[in-house]
Amino acid sequence: MSKIAVMGAGSWGTTFAKVLADAGSDVMLWARRPDLADEINTEHRNGDYLPGIELPAGVKASASVEEALAGASQVYLAVPSQSLRSNLEQWGPHLPADAILVSLMKGVEKDTGLRMSEVIAEVTGFSLAQIAVVSGPNLSLEIAAEQPTASVAASASLETAELVAKASSNSYFTTFTNTDVIGTEFGGILKNLIAVAIGIVNGVGYGQNTKASIMTRGLAEISRFAVAHGAKSKTMNGLAGLGDLIATAESPLSRNFKAGEMLGKGYRLNEVLKRLSQTAEGLASIAPVLTLAEAKGVKMPIVEQVHLVMQGKMHPREIAPHLTHESDEPQGE
């Protein structure tokens, strides 16, 4: 039985540790807090992030990076995207040289605009064939409750993607494969931005017509962006794009939807950040995504308007007409 490490004991890291253990692996979950590691080991639960969920015996935890990583054949990374670089720099000496590194994160690095797989490659020096990403319609609490879902493992190496898929597929979680790392990552990143937009109009009080318009036009917008950066269009219509967007766009379990909803109700960005108990990756990714879009000449009216609301330069109630219409001239869909 192979040993797998999961670095990060938040809701998603803990949930994925459960997925991997239920698929038959021995999993070592790294927790920053020793008290949380003790709770997982003695009580088989993570009450802070997954209340009411019992973790399988195959999940063990440690606050020691060295212990967590020792002998791991696969290492799943589940920390906030903006802290990945600094964490990898600390973990580097303990990463097994032949391990597969798997990103569970959905963000773009603020300062560089790099996707998480690019940060992993740059910091660790691991080959692209050793790096994979997992993305899809994955709300942590639903998966932890073993509600059936599917996801995608992507790597430049199909063999690597298949190894990740085998390790993470069980009776309630099915992992498909592809080699479109760019599309799989950008699907997970960009749908967060549209979820914030839908949360905003929900907070304002607009109904299903507005939200459906934003979701569908948002999919077109993020697809244009992803394809311009080298993604395959079919990836954006699959689990990592459309599937993830549907799951995230209007779920009360979605941090990005909740963040947008608070913005729509009039909370300022700093107040929203204080009220969120966990990271909403979409908020941190908006500015670098817009910079990347400008560099490719891709128009992103929905994301641009969300950015204005976040900056306090547009009232949330004014957002909907701008989201679905760029000018007064008739436009093709």
Which pLDDT band holds residue 148 (cuts at 50, 70, 90)?
very high
What is the C-alpha separation between 30 and 245, in angstroms, rounded? 29
Helix 181-204, helix 116-124: angle, nearest 10: 130
- What is the average per-residue pLDDT within 127-141? 96
- What is the average per-residue pLDDT within 182-201? 93
Q: Which residues are catalytic?
A: 191
Please check whether residue 140 is in contact with residue 12, taking contact to mean a CB–CB distance below 8 angstroms: yes
Which of 118, 193, 188 has its CA nearest to residue 153? 188
What local confidence, expressed as pLDDT, does residue 277 receive? 66
What is the C-alpha separation between 323 and 302, in angstroms, rounded? 5
What is the C-alpha separation between 89 and 123, in angstroms, rounded? 7
What local confidence, expressed as pLDDT, does residue 283 receive? 81
The share of the chain scoring above pLDDT 70, in percent, equals 94
Compute how many other C-beta atoms are within 10 angstroms of the C-beta atom of residue 164. Answer: 25
**Tokens 């204080």 map to which residue?**
274
- What is the average per-residue pLDDT within 305-321? 89
Q: Does domain 182-323 have CATH number 1.10.1040.10?
A: yes
- What is the average per-residue pLDDT within 268-291? 83
Sheet containing 3-7: which strands, arranged edge to edge?
59-62, 26-30, 3-7, 74-77, 100-103, 131-135, 149-155, 173-178
What is the C-alpha separation between 184 and 136, in angstroms, rounded? 8
What local confidence, expressed as pLDDT, does residue 332 receive? 64
- What is the average per-residue pLDDT within 185-190? 92
Asked whether the domain spanning 182-323 has the same topology as the one spanning 3-179, the reply is no
Mean pLDDT of the chain: 93
Burial profile 198-233: b = 16 or more Cβ within 10 angstroms, e = fewer: bbbbbbbebeeebbebbbebbbebbbbbbbebebbe
- What is the average per-residue pLDDT within 163-188? 97
Which pLDDT band holds residue 291 (cuts at 50, 70, 90)?
very high
What local confidence, expressed as pLDDT, does residue 278 receive? 66
At 40-98, the pLDDT tens digits run: 999 999 999 999 999 999 999 999 999 999 999 999 999 999 999 999 999 999 999 99
What local confidence, expressed as pLDDT, does residue 73 receive? 98
Superfamily of chain region 3-179:
NAD(P)-binding Rossmann-like Domain (3.40.50.720)
Residue 255 has pLDDT above 90, yes or no: no
Residue 320 has pLDDT above 80, yes or no: no
**Tokens 């790597």 map to which residue?**
155
- What is the average per-residue pLDDT within 116-140? 97
What local confidence, expressed as pLDDT, does residue 253 receive? 83
At 115-126, the pLDDT tens digits run: 999 999 999 999
Its pTM stands at 0.91
What is the C-alpha separation between 153 and 136, in angstroms, rounded? 9
Domain boundaries, the chain: 3-179, 182-323
What local confidence, expressed as pLDDT, does residue 318 receive? 87
What local confidence, expressed as pLDDT, does residue 284 receive? 80
